[in-house]
Structure 1
Amino acid sequence: MMSNEASYWYLENIDVTGILCPQKIRRGDLEAHFHRCYKRGEYIYLPDEMSDRVFFLTDGRVKIGTYGDSGKEITKAILGKGDVFGELSLIGEDHRRDFAYTMEEATVCVVNVDEMKLLMRDHTSLGLFIMKIMGSRVLEMEKRLESLVFKDSRTRIIEYLLESAEKKGRRVGFETEVRKFITHQEIANLTATSRQTVTTLLNDLRDRNILTFDRRRLLIRDMDKLKGETLPVS
């Protein structure tokens, strides 16, 4: 995993898994706290459902999104192992405003709101972790809004590729590999562009040997060249 300024929680000494593991809950209340497995393509929750639980993703990938007035799907985030979602229920959200959908088989630790608040009271590190999650997501949404307003579609797509490499990539020699590369449509949903635009750009970058990709991974051959693609043409 590559390091960056916005380091993830698991790079810090916060044992969230240990805190949330059912076997380590003194109360032993599995109704308030349990693990559940979901098959690929299942909804964990939908808009307008009761917002009374928080979810900790222990394995797999989950997409968080919503639907526009026209019914178009809008992807807000794609989460992986170690991420928390549904956290707005902790600050007064009564009903879900978005959906959570499994992109592959996933295992989720489910904690009801009352239990989570008790855990946050007993474990200062957990409260800090949740605060950082909320803050980072507000900043991320602000960044995406600014990008939508001030940058063209090509730049938004390239910046998404760079961000994925910086957050999820690993060095392979002089190249950078991102495993579990998402579909062109998902990239389009995340960057407010079209699938055709994403496909055209990726094919162009591949033809110029800046990167290559398939359904399983993205391989950036030259990070500096890819970064250069975001610079204005003089």
Structure 2
Amino acid sequence: MKPENNHFLKYLEALSSSPFFKDSSTGSIKELLHSMSEEHWNAKSFKSSTDVMSTFHFIVSGRLKVYKSNPDSGREHTVFVLSKGDVFDVLSLLDTKPHDVYWEALDSLEVLKIPMEQMRHWINKYPVMHKAILYYLGDRMRQLMDVATDVTLHSTLVRLSALLLKNINGETRKLELINNLPNDEIAGLIGTTRAVVSRHIQELKRCGAISVSRKQINVKNLELLLSIAEEKYIP
């Protein structure tokens, strides 16, 4: 992408403000952006690992679901929901092998992409990125460990309450990353079914922890929701 591009400054700001590139200099990020191109995914469009393994992506806007699927049962499990400032796919960047997951745009998705080989060359040129990749992978591994233990140790109601808490903006008390997602998408995040999520949402409504309007979940009593997530209160 050339500096003459109308969106060059917008994309430069997006890259610079991402936690993934927080230790990179403006000059090195500009150099990276020169090798990138923009791409738009329509909402609900999806790709397999083979579709994205040859390119490294940076999300400018929108949300992306990363999920695994059982072809026999049709059941899905959402591994992550990525959003503005996130990158994918780091695993393919490191080991050159396909990552056995699917990718689906939850909204209209705007991304920047670069061939994997060029991204690897840029990272080797700027070793500060080695630490950034370790931190990024460490954070993702911690999230996966939490999900694995939560499924074993906690009820679906507790997992749902904890998921809502993790995605609440502390100042506005509004959901952000998972706001307006349908119940089947929320179910995929906590390893259950749409029917179970719907039942638990009604329970949380009845006890006054949340309200629901226009497919939006609003937190009415943060302290109560916290006590449910900590298994100190049963609705």
What does residue 54 of structure 1 align with?
56
The answer (yes or no) to whether the contact 2:20–2:133 under 8 Å persists in 1 is no
Q: 2:31 aligns with which of 7, 21, 25?
A: 25
TM-score, normalising length: structure 2: 0.79
What does residue 40 of structure 1 align with?
43
Offset from partner CA, 1:32-89 (integer Å, 9 cap, x none): x31101111112x304546222111011111001112523222111111111111111
CA distance in 1, matches of 2:110, 2:23: 18
CA distance in 2, matches of 1:79, 1:27: 20
What does residue 117 of structure 1 align with?
120
Superposed displacement of residue 13, structure 1: 7.7
CA distance in 1, matches of 2:188, 2:58: 24
What does residue 9 of structure 2 align with?
none
The structure-2 alpha-carbon separation of the partners of 1:136 and 1:215, relative to structure 1 and needing over 3 Å to count, comes to: farther
CA distance in 2, matches of 1:142, 1:12: 21
In structure 2, list runs of 5 or more residues that go unmatched. Answer: 1-16
What does residue 224 of structure 2 align with?
225
CA distance in 2, matches of 1:19, 1:222: 46
The structure-2 alpha-carbon separation of the partners of 1:129 and 1:181, relative to structure 1 and needing over 3 Å to count, comes to: farther
TM-score, normalising length: structure 1: 0.80
Superposed displacement of residue 162, structure 1: 1.2
In structure 1, list runs of 5 or more residues that go unmatched. Answer: 1-8
Secondary structure of the corresponding residue to residue 25 of structure 1: helix
Aligned-pair RMSD on alpha carbons? 2.8
Single out whichever of 105-114 and 117-126 deviates more from structure 2: 117-126
Query: How many residues get paired?
Result: 214
CA distance in 2, matches of 1:27, 1:69: 38
Whether 1:136 and 2:117 are equivalent positions in the alignment is no
CA distance in 2, matches of 1:17, 1:105: 30
Superposed displacement of residue 100, structure 1: 1.1
Higher helix share: 2
CA distance in 2, matches of 1:138, 1:26: 26
Whether 1:127 and 2:119 are equivalent positions in the alignment is no
What does residue 91 of structure 1 align with?
94
The answer (yes or no) to whether the contact 1:183–1:215 under 8 Å persists in 2 is no
Secondary structure of the corresponding residue to residue 203 of structure 1: helix
The structure-2 alpha-carbon separation of the partners of 1:50 and 1:184, relative to structure 1 and needing over 3 Å to count, comes to: closer
What does residue 178 of structure 1 align with?
175
Percent of aligned positions that are identical = 17
